[in-house]
């Protein structure tokens, strides 16, 4: 998989302030925190100068039932905040998650990768053809989920892919 640029803005550790903030917007329905953290991501992306050619943002999709249960997609909240700063469109329906997957949190690196294979489907390749897109997620650990989704995005003709996450964690 060819990724043009990638970044994580913060480091995620257990019991850290970032863990608390992510938990608040991911599981406690505090959407304002998600949008605000997205704005902070946007400013970091702008400052880095490696993402100036990005044309559009794609939130990592949740499976439909999980999104209904949660009430929103946390990656979409981040995209909305980033979009305010970068002034780029958010394309939420380009890729869909085709199956519900088990939580990745208790899986090792290989199990995470196997759990995500074939779980995404590119819905409308023509919309992103020739664009530089930024795939956005909240936390990256092994990269298995982003890799599986990114591979599907790269099926579109002449698309350039970059990846941005709020945080990275070593496990």
pTM: 0.90
> Is there a domain that residue 15 lies in?
yes
Digit-by-digit pLDDT tens for the chain (171 residues) are: 588 999 999 998 888 888 899 888 888 888 999 999 999 999 999 999 999 999 999 999 988 888 888 888 999 999 999 999 999 999 999 999 887 765 556 666 666 666 667 778 999 899 999 999 999 999 998 888 899 899 999 999 999 999 999 999 886
> Is there a domain that residue 50 lies in?
yes
> Is there a domain that residue 1 lies in?
no
Range of 51's domain?
6-168
Chain-centroid distance of CA 137 in Å reads 2
Find, among 46, 42, 38, 55, the residue nearest to 138 by Cα: 38
DSSP secondary structure code for residue 10 in this structure:
E
CATH of residue 14's domain is: 3.40.50
- Cα–Cα distance for residue pair 72/33, rounded to 1 Å: 13
Number of domains in the chain: 1
> Is there a domain that residue 18 lies in?
yes
Query: What are the backbone dihedrals phi and psi of residue 50, each rounded to the nearest 5 degrees, phi first?
Result: -85, -10
> Is there a domain that residue 28 lies in?
yes
DSSP secondary structure code for residue 52 in this structure:
T
């Amino acid at each position: 998989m060819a990724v043009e640029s990638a970044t994580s803005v913060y480091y995620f550790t257990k019991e850290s302030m970032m863990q608390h903030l992510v938990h608040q917007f991911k599981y406690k329905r505090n959407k304002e925190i998600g949008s605000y953290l997205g704005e902070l991501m946007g400013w970091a992306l702008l400052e880095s100068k490696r993402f100036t050619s990005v044309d559009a943002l794609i939130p990592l999709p949740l499976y439909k039932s999980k999104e209904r249960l949660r009430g929103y997609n946390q990656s979409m909240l981040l995209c909305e905040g980033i979009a305010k700063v970068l002034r780029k469109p958010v394309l939420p329906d380009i890729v869909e998650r085709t199956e519900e997957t088990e939580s990745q949190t208790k899986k090792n690196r290989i199990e995470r990768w196997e759990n995500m294979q074939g779980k995404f489907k590119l819905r409308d390749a023509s919309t992103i053809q020739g664009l530089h897109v930024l795939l956005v997620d909240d936390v990256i650990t092994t990269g298995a989920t982003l890799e599986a989704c990114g591979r599907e995005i790269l099926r579109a003709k002449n698309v350039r892919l970059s990846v941005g996450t709020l945080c990275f964690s070593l496990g």
